Structure 1
Amino acid sequence: MGLKDWLARRPLVAILRGIRPDEAVAVGEALVEAGIPVIEVPLNSPEPVESIRRLAARFGDAALIGAGTVLDPADCARIAAAGGRLVVTPHADPEVVRAAKAAGQIAVPGFFTAAEAFALLKAGADGLKLFPAEGASPAVVKALLAVLPKGTPILPVGGIEAGNMAPWRAAGAAGFGIGGAIYRPGDTPAVVAAKAAGLVAGLSGA
C-alpha cells in the first residue's frame, strides 16, 4: 500500500522518539489496537533499527513501520533490511528521498518552503512533512496546496495534539505526525493507549 492508503485508515503517524527495543512491541500493540497503524521510530532513539525490526516482525502488513530522523542516505538500506518501509526526515534532503525510493520505501521528507517542497517531490517523495509546524500555520498549507501537484499529501509535524488538528485539516493537511502527544520515553502501553484514544477522538472532530 502507498502512503495515501495508510493515511486513509487513519491519518496519524505515531512518533516513538526514545523508545527502547524491549518496549517497542507492547507500545506498538497499544497503538494498532487504538487504530493508529503507522509507526515511526526516530533514529536518535536507543537501538532504533532493532525496535523497527521487532515491530515489523510483529505487525507485518497490519502496520506501516519505519524510521524517522533519517539523515544519512545509507541508512535507508539497513532500515529496509530490518523491515522498515517508511523513511521520514526532519530536513529537505533529496538524496535521502532517492535512497529510500531505491530501497522500495515510502519517503516523507521534512520541508518548510515551497522551493524545498518542489525539490523533494522531484526526487520522488511520496508526501511532505511540514516541520516544525509550530513555525507555520494552516494558511501555509492551504497556500502550498494551491501550487503543489494535485493530491500532494502534507503532514504537519511539531506541536500537534488533539485540540489543534481541526484548522490544519480544514486547510487540507492529509495527516499528522504526533510526537510527545502520543509517546514520551517511559510511557507505558496503557498511557500510550489513552493518549491514542484522545487523538483519535480529536481527529474525528477535526
Structure 2
Amino acid sequence: MKAWLHPLPLVAILRGLQPDEAVDIGGALAAAGFRILEVPLNSPDPCTSIRRLVDALGDGYLVGAGTVLDPARVKDVADAGGRLIVMPHADTAVIRAAKQAGLYCVPGVATPTEAFAALAAGADALKLFPAEQSSPAVLKAWRAVLPKDLAVLPVGGIAPDNMAPWLAAGAAGFGIGSSLYAPGRPAADVAARARDFAEAWQHLHADSQGTRA
C-alpha cells in the first residue's frame, strides 16, 4: 500500500454515493490530491459507482469497496474494476478472498489480537476502527509491537484539526467519511473539504519531518 499512500495517505469513504454523482465527486477528490476512494457496499448500487469511478479516474487511482462483510462480494467488486477491499472488522475469510482475487485489503481492527490475526491472513494495512473508541495513546502502544513498515489508518471522527496527535502516535494516514462526503453534498462542497484535509495533512507531515530532522 505504500505507493498508494504516498504522497496523500487519506482514504475517501463515500458512503451513500449515488452512481449518477460518482464521476463529479471522484473528480473533485482527485483534484484535491486524493488517490484512494472506497464506496461502501451499503450504498445505492455500489458496484456501478465503483465502475464509473474506475472508468473516469483511470489506473492512477485505487478504487474499491468498503463495508465488505461477505467473501462472496469480493468477486462483485473485482468484476466492477475495484482493486481495494475495506472492512469494518477483521474477518479472515474476507481477507483471504480479497488476496486470492489479487486485491488490496484493509480490514478494521480494534485490538492487537485482531490486528495480528488480520496480518496473518494477508492484510495489506490496518484500519483502526472506530477511532472514537480508541486513542493516540493506544495506537502508540500498538506501534511498539506491530511491524514498523505497517500502515495503520484511524477511521471515525477524523477532522483536519484532530489528526496531529494520531500522526505523532504513528498513524500512516486516515480514512475520512461524513466529514468529507455525505449523501446529497454538492461536489463543490466536497472539493473544498477535500482541500482542507489535504492541506492539513501536508502541513502536519512537513512539521513532523522538520521535528525529526
The bucket for the TM-score relative to the shorter chain is: over 0.9
Q: Does 1:101 align with 2:99?
A: yes
Which residue does the alignment assign to 1:11? Answer: 9
Question: Which runs of no fewer than 5 residues in structure 1 stay unpaired?
Answer: none
Q: Match of 1:167, as an amino acid?
A: P
Equivalent-residue separation in structure 2 for 1:85 and 1:181 (angstroms): 24
User: Which runs of 5 or more residues in structure 2 are unaligned?
Assistant: 205-213
Aligned with residue 154 of structure 2, among 147, 153, 156: 156
Question: 2:138 is matched with which residue?
Answer: 140
1:131 to 129, 137, 158: 129
Structure 2 counterpart of 1:68? 66
Partner secondary structure for residue 125 of structure 1: coil
- TM-score by length of structure 1 reads 0.97
Query: Normalised by the size of structure 2, how large is the TM-score?
Result: 0.94
Displaced runs of 4+ in structure 1, greater than 2 A?
Answer: none
Match of 1:36 in 2: 34
1:197 aligns with 2:205: no
Q: CA deviation at 1:99?
A: 0.4
Give the letter aligned to residue 140 of structure 2: K
Root-mean-square deviation (Å): 0.7
Percent identical? 61
Is the 1:87–1:108 Cα contact (8 Å) retained in structure 2? Answer: yes
- Contact preservation (8 Å) 1:67, 1:86: yes
- After superposition, give the CA deviation of every residue in 1:56-77 in whole Å (9 maximum; x if it has no partner): 1111212110000000011111
1:115 matched residue in structure 2: 113
Of residues 40, 48, 57, the one that matches 1:59 is 57
Q: Quote the residue 1:86 is aligned against.
A: 84
Per-residue deviation, 1:40: 0.5
